Every structure is written in C-alpha cells, then in structure tokens.
C-alpha cells in the first residue's frame, strides 16, 4: 500500500497535513478553500509555479547564458498564470489568437511572445503583427504567404522555421509531434525552402529554427535528439528547442530531473549548435502540472464489484484521462492515503470514459467528503468545457496561508450568454 508521504509528494511542494489530518496546500486548508469557493475548484500553489519558473531560468542560464525560458502557456493560459511567469522573467509561447489576447491582458510585452500554430488564420496573423508579437514560428508555406501579405513594408517580423526532427518519442501517440509524418512543421528538406524564402523576404526576418518532440516525455535523450537534425540546416542566431519534459502524476512516474534534462539538452546544443546562438526552450506541462490540485465533493458512492465514487466534476474540468488515459491519484482530503478497498473515482458526465482515477485506494469515502486530485495544473484548465451544462470551474491561488480567486466559476447565465436566437 502506498504511504501517506508518497501521496503527499504528488501534491504541490510544501503540502502538509494539519493536526486533524486535513490537507494543507500553500498554507491553506482544503476544507476552507471548498467552504469559500465551492467545488469543483482548481487550487494552485502560486509559490510552486514561481519556484519552478526560477529553477528553469537559473538552470538554463547557468548552462547557456544567452538563453530564454518561454512558458508554453497552452498548458495553463489564464492571465494570472501568464502574469506570474512574466514576473519571473519568462517569455510566453502563445498558440493562436486567444492566447495572444490573454497574454496581452496579462500585461506581457508583445516582443516576448512566440506564436505557434499549424493552422494560423489570416486573422490571427494580423492580430500578431498588429500587436507586435516578437516571434512567429512558421509551420508551413501558407504562414509565409500570409505574413508577407500582412506585414507592412518597412517592418521586419522575426520568424523561426519549425523543423520536424524525425524523433519518435516514447510517449502517448497523441502527445508525439517530432516524428516523420507529424502535422507540425516541415521536414528538413522542405524546411530549406522555407528558410530560403524567409531569407529572400524584405519584411520577414529569418531568426532561426524551432523544434518540439512532443509532450510528457520521460527520456531526456529523446528531447535532446531533436538538436542534431537542426545543425544540418545551417547556422542561425536563434534555436528554440521546444518543451516536452514529463511531469510526475503518479507513483510510477519518474521524469528526468530538471538538471538532468537541461544537462542532456545543452550538451547536445554544445555539440551541434553555434556557440554564439541564443537558445530558447518552451516548457509547459513540467512547469505547472504539480502546482495544482482539483478539489471535488463526493456526490454518490455506488458499491458493487467495482465501487464507484462519483464526484461533482470530471471530464469537463479534466480531459487528460479521456484524451490520453493519463493516470491521476486521489484522496479524501482529511483521511489521506489508502484504504484497503480500491474504488474507481468517476465524474458526473454522460460518458463511461469520464473516469478520474481507476482503482484508487480511498479511505472509506462517503457522500459529502471532499476529494483531492493532485497534479492537475497542466492542460486541465485550458481544456475545460461545458459538457452536460457544466460550469467551468474557478481557479484559486494559494500562498503563505492566503488565498485569492483568479478565475471565477461560470455562472448559469454564462451558459446562455452566447445564444442569440431562441
Ligand atoms: C510548440 C510547442 N512548444 C511547447 C509545448 C509544451 O510542451 P509541454 O507542455 O509538454 O512542455 C507544446 C505542447 O505540446 C508545443 O506544441
């Protein structure tokens, strides 16, 4: 059976148990958070996010001084998170117009935005150019056509070319992006043409290359393997080596440490890239996954061959299980750790795939209990939805025993707010 310490270790750093056994995150008791904001609620340990951002920055700069950590904000694109990252000195990766809008609202300097997308629309490119987005990552020739039409003469838009490195990472197929046949970027052969076009352009500046192997990658060497294929394409001022480092969701997950990942990646950069180039990296998941906990209320316990513990949220606030079968752990907040009878924690949605945690040993969960699911900081908020009329859940920052609401819960009228005809 898994120990309490091991389970608490999946929660944000600094999480502890109060004398009465209640989980305390960021110095705040989870029962008090639930009392104040209701459930489900996404509780984010602000110091955990900031500390991780500092570790990333210090680790990268120590190894490669002319470098920049760019937060892949798709992992958690609310303005409060984007603002915290910027306050910690990070740049922001935006995947599409919506993330440009939130980043600008968060007060991000547009020159530090890096725009991605394999299907950027003219509207998004216009938005980026008008806002002064510093870097557009060119994924295809239509991006170049659109940029040449939209960028006014006299301006120079910084661009990187996204290259498919031909690396098949050992992650879920839906997370892999660096293999031959990927929909993202250009093969090295075709990338040469895109590079040549940018070099000929009088309004697009060919700053360098970008690559990204995929997400939730547990082998540092697979991330570093993307570096060498870039070297064959020539020497450039900038190389963006993407994100992808795995996060720890459950006991069996042992992602490389940040130091090991950076050692292996930057060793590859030293071996293959020009020493005077600037290196960017774009972590998302490994920056924020462990910083948050989703808190639910148990609504139903249905005993049987499988005992189902159903909660008041599910796939509307956490799609990771349904999309890629991601494993999450769970615990009753004031009886932390395992009971002897594993149960299956399910959500309230009309899909059998709406499971939060299969075979998880809860300690005697009963209706009304609060349940905490750790490691929900990445890709949960951003993929939240209104399935079955769910109101998207609030985000609460906790730090030093204080809490503050940074995103409110949808209201019932919010669910009707886009309807324009009866
Ligand atoms: C281009 C790009 N950069 C960075 C990331 C962030 O990846 P991760 O969240 O795995 O670090 C992604 C997401 O897959 C991406 O598509």
229 and 338 inside one domain: no
Report residue 405 as tokens. Answer: 């609401």
Q: Domain count for the chain, please give it.
A: 2
With a 6 A CB cut-off, is 377 part of the ligand 1 pocket? no
- Catalytic annotation, pick one of 28, 78, 350, 380: 350
With a 6 A CB cut-off, is 72 part of the ligand 1 pocket? yes
What's the gap in Å between 73 CA and the centre of ligand 1?
9
Global pTM value: 0.97
Q: Domain range for residue 111?
A: 47-287
| Locus of tokens 């209104």 | 386
Q: Look at residues 260, 287, 314 and tell me which one is the last residue of a structural domain.
A: 287
347 and 261 inside one domain: no
Q: In whole angstroms, what is the distance from residue 41 CA to residue 48 CA?
A: 18
196 and 264 inside one domain: yes
116 and 220 inside one domain: yes
Q: What is the pLDDT of residue 337?
A: 83
112 and 241 inside one domain: yes
Ligand 1 atom nearest to CA at 243:
11
Residue 422 inside a domain? The answer is no
Whose Cα sits closest to atom 5 in ligand 1? 243
Q: Look at residues 287, 314, 337 and tell me which one is the last residue of a structural domain.
A: 287
Q: What is the pLDDT of residue 159?
A: 98
Q: What is the CA radius of gyration of the chain?
A: 22
Does the annotation mark 350 as catalytic?
Answer: yes
310 and 408 inside one domain: yes
Residue 85 inside a domain? The answer is yes
Q: Which residues of 330-346 are buried (b: 16+ CB within 10 A; e: fewer)?
A: bbbbbbbbbbeeebbbb
Q: What is the pLDDT of residue 205?
A: 98
247 and 383 inside one domain: no
268 closest CA partner among 143, 176, 260, 322: 260
What's the gap in Å between 147 CA and the centre of ligand 1?
23
117 and 240 inside one domain: yes
127 and 173 inside one domain: yes
Residue 421 inside a domain? The answer is no
Q: Quick one: the chain helix, strand, coil %, rounded to 5? A: 30, 25, 45
What's the gap in Å between 45 CA and the centre of ligand 1?
22
Phi then psi for residue 305, to 5 deg, are -55, -45
CATH of the domain at 362: 2.40.37.10
Mean pLDDT by 10 residues, the chain (422 residues): 86 97 98 98 98 98 98 98 98 97 97 98 98 98 98 96 93 89 95 98 98 96 96 97 98 97 98 98 98 98 96 98 96 90 96 97 95 98 98 98 98 97 82
The best mutation among 242, 261, 281, 291 to test binding of ligand 1, ranked by most ligand atoms within 8 Å of the C-beta, falls on 242
| Locus of tokens 């990942």 | 261
Q: In whole angstroms, what is the distance from residue 172 CA to residue 290 CA?
A: 19
Q: Under a CB-based contact definition with an 8 Å cutoff, are residues 30 and 295 in contact?
A: yes
């Amino acid at each position: 059976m898994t120990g309490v310490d091991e389970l608490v270790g999946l929660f944000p750093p600094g999480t502890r148990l109060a004398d009465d056994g209640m989980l305390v995150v960021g110095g705040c008791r989870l029962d008090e958070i639930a009392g104040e904001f209701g459930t489900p609620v996404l509780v984010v340990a602000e110091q955990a996010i900031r500390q991780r951002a500092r570790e990333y920055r210090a680790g990268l700069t120590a190894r490669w001084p002319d470098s920049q950590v760019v937060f892949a904000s798709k992992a958690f694109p609310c303005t409060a998170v984007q603002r915290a990252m910027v306050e910690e000195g990070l740049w922001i990766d935006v995947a599409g117009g919506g993330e440009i809008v939130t980043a600008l609202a968060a007060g991000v300097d547009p020159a530090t935005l890096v725009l991605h997308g394999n299907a950027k629309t003219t509207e998004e490119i216009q938005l980026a150019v008008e806002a002064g987005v510093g870097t557009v990552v060119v994924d295809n020739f239509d991006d170049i056509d659109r940029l040449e039409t939209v960028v006014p003469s006299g301006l120079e838009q910084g661009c990187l070319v996204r290259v498919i490195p031909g690396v098949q990472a050992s992650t879920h197929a839906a997370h892999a992006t660096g293999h031959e046949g990927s929909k993202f970027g250009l093969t090295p052969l075709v990338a040469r043409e895109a590079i040549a076009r940018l070099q000929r352009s009088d309004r697009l500046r060919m700053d360098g290359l970008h690559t990204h192997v995929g997400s939730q990658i547990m082998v540092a060497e697979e991330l570093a393997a993307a570096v060498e294929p870039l070297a064959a394409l020539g020497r450039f001022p900038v190389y963006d080596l993407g994100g992808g480092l795995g996060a720890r969701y459950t006991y069996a997950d042992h992602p490389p440490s940040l130091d090991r990942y950076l050692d292996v990646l930057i060793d590859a950069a030293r071996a293959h890239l020009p020493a005077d180039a600037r290196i960017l990296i774009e972590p998302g998941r490994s920056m924020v996954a462990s910083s948050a906990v989703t808190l639910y209320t148990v609504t139903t316990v249905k005993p049987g061959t499988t005992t189902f513990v159903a909660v008041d949220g599910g796939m509307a606030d956490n799609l990771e299980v349904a999309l890629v079968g991601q494993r999450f752990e769970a615990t009753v907040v004031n009886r932390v750790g395992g009971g002897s009878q594993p149960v299956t924690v399910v959500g309230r949605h009309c899909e059998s795939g709406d499971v939060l945690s299969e075979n998880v040993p809860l300690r005697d969960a009963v209706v009304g209990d609060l349940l905490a699911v750790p490691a929900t900081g990445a890709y949960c908020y951003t993929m939240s939805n209104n399935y079955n009329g769910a109101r998207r859940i609030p985000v609460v920052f906790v730090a030093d025993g204080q809490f503050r609401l940074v995103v409110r819960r949808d209201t019932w009228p919010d669910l009707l707010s886009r309807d324009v005809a009866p």
